[in-house]
Amino acid sequence: MCDFTMLTKESIMETLKKCNDPEIQMDIVTLELIYEVKVDNDEVYIKMTFTTPMCPYGPMLIEDVKAKVLASGAKAVEVEVVFEPPWQPSEDLRAMMGV
């Protein structure tokens, strides 16, 4: 059986909504940790950050991102973690988090 699901930036963002930050228990898209997504055929590039550079769950989060994107049909996933610009929750996100 062939899977003809076309990967798009939008479909990858939907997949990433299934990846939760283990400490905050909120998905990484809602947390605004995803800075960029590029799809080239079946290869995906993701630029993201963590809530803090010293995030103890960082490696686990990257593996979760890769596993879920590969499961969505990607043949290769590159995740680049950056800290510029540093993560700053938007006013909407702050309100949602109650801070």
Report the pLDDT value the prediction gives residue 65, as an integer from 0 to 100.
Answer: 98
How many whole angstroms separate alpha carbon 12 and alpha carbon 62? 14
| Partners of 49 in beta bridges | none
User: In this structure, how many other beta carbons lie within 10 angstroms of the beta carbon of residue 88?
Assistant: 9
Report the pLDDT value the prediction gives residue 1, as an integer from 0 to 100.
Answer: 39
Report the pLDDT value the prediction gives residue 61, as an integer from 0 to 100.
Answer: 95
Cis amide linkage into residue 85, ω under 30° from 0: yes
Is 2 a residue whose pLDDT tops 80? no
Question: Is 60 in a helix, a strand, or coil?
Answer: helix
Domain ranges of the chain: 9-97
Tokens standing for residue 37: 């997504």
pLDDT one-digit tens code per residue, 29-87: 999 999 999 999 999 999 999 988 888 999 999 999 999 999 999 999 999 999 998 88
CATH, domain range 9-97: 3.30.300.130
DSSP string of 3-20?
--PPP-HHHHHHHHTT-E
Contact 38, 20 (CB under 8 A): no
